[in-house]
Amino acid sequence: METKRTEARTTPTPALDRGRATRRRLIETTARLHKERPGAELSVAEIAKAAGVYPNQITYYFGSKDSLLVHAAFLGLLHDARRIERIARQAPDAATFRHTIARAVLAMPSLPSVTKALAAGISKPELAPVVDQHLQLLFRQSERFAGQLVRKRGWQARRPLDVEARTFWSTALGAVLLVRAGAHGTNADLDLAGALTIHDGPGPE
């Protein structure tokens, strides 16, 4: 007697689709509120109202408001990074590219919320994996972008591109954290362009 096999369901259920849509809407709404009110403290009630959900859905989908804020902060950062990539593609040479990237990153509107997310990852160990997940995504996106540009333009880098991406963002985010922590100085005191080694050719520029 032949045994019938039951195929596992591979299509998402309506409830799962609704859950993903709600989760995405909460992240996007919080990112938008961060952009409209940089540095503001957002309450669960106002986030829920703006997203059209109940306040307890924030805890249900994210565990805590802080976790949602981390997701939203890095969504804003990734959006800013993509915008900066479009600007950087217009650079005629590697030196202009380095300086364009540096100026644009330090002016990103998402930086205040991202520095809060990084601080949350330090003070609340349960959020550290969430922060790391988003940082790894940022590093990979930046590495891909740099690789495409280097290959297309015939540029070179003096170190592997994954190291290039990590070094650049570590420098940028670390500098912003120092300033927000009260360190004396301004963006003009930081040579962020110097954290990049991408150049036009094999010789020194």
At 142-168, the pLDDT tens digits run: 999 999 999 999 999 999 999 999 999
Cα 137 from Cα 139, distance rounded (Å): 5
Output DSSP code: residue 199.
B
- Predicted confidence at residue 37, as pLDDT, reads 83
- Predicted confidence at residue 11, as pLDDT, reads 55
**How much is the pTM?**
0.80
Position 56 pLDDT exceeds 70: yes
Position 12 pLDDT exceeds 70: no
The CATH number of domain 14-195, selected from 3.30.1950.10, 1.20.1240.10, 1.10.357.10, 3.60.150.10 = 1.10.357.10
Binning pLDDT at 50, 70 and 90, where does residue 40 land?
Answer: confident
Position 13 pLDDT exceeds 80: no
Domain residue ranges in the chain: 14-195
Tallying the residues shown for the chain, one arrives at 205
Q: In the predicted model, what is the mean pLDDT of residues 30-37?
A: 88
- Predicted confidence at residue 42, as pLDDT, reads 86
Question: How far is residue 19 CA from its own chain's centroid?
Answer: 23
- Predicted confidence at residue 10, as pLDDT, reads 52
- Predicted confidence at residue 178, as pLDDT, reads 76
Cα 198 from Cα 55, distance rounded (Å): 47
Cα 197 from Cα 94, distance rounded (Å): 9
H or E element at residue 64: none
Position 52 pLDDT exceeds 60: yes
Q: In the predicted model, what is the mean pLDDT of residues 123-141?
A: 92
Q: In the predicted model, what is the mean pLDDT of residues 76-94?
A: 92
